[in-house]
Structure 1
Amino acid sequence: MKLDKKEKLEFLHRRMIDEVQDYAIILLDSDGTILSWNKGAQEIKGYRPDEIVGQNFNIFYLPGDRQEKLPEQLLELARREGRARHIGRRVRKDGSTFWGSIVITALHDDDGTVVGFTKLSRQLRDHEIE
């Protein structure tokens, strides 16, 4: 397969994201709907892409956090300040929970309008929580 420079860069960029396994890399639209995610997200969260793409990312938060609108607050903070960070309990597909560290970064168009977000998260180990 012969690729030009732009195609090769796009191919390698996609591979870079897809093959990271220690971090969940999730692309969200401006409302928090999951557009894509990598192998790390599948490993950490337990969902295959076809099961989760199209769902809102608030599915990963505890019911109390959803009730208090924490996911929406994090998106709003990222929208205003460029990024939001948080450490807290997260929910996997099987209902089990884990401590996670997340960074949500706003993505902008050429006019500066927020068009989406990246959400980078990783599972914390016991010694990292204290």
Structure 2
Amino acid sequence: MKRGTFIDTVYILAALNPRDRWHGKAVELSQVRRTPLVTSDAVLTEVADALAHRSRRMWASQAIDDLRADPDVKCVSVDAAIFAGGLDLYRERPDKDWSLTDCVSFVIMRQQQITDALTADLHFVQAGFRALMQE
């Protein structure tokens, strides 16, 4: 049984930016009904960080608010246990260039038995998940 699809930073940024190299794929995948959709406040923080320039700040804030208000999107709060699990994975894999946010995402995906991610990030594939934007 499919448990949902994880929304990663790469997908959100590509969907928001028509000049992003992955924009077309993000738009294409957005047309496919996938529920439940799951992301985390760590991913949303990463999106905000990427769009922190003052010229994009209000636009980024609105996009994040829209995602958080969407009834089809579950935003997981990164509590102490999830953060510790992500940090453990980050520490245990010095052979990978995975970010801490990636590791936190992997912990959430494993906990929720999610195999598919809306991302082009090959780190998800390295961790055993499907990166739908790469397919």
Using structure 2 for the length normalisation, give the TM-score: 0.29
Q: Which has the larger radius of gyration?
A: 1
Between the two structures, name the one with larger relative contact order (CA 8 Å, sep ≥ 6): 2
Query: Larger strand proportion, structure 1 or 2?
Result: 1
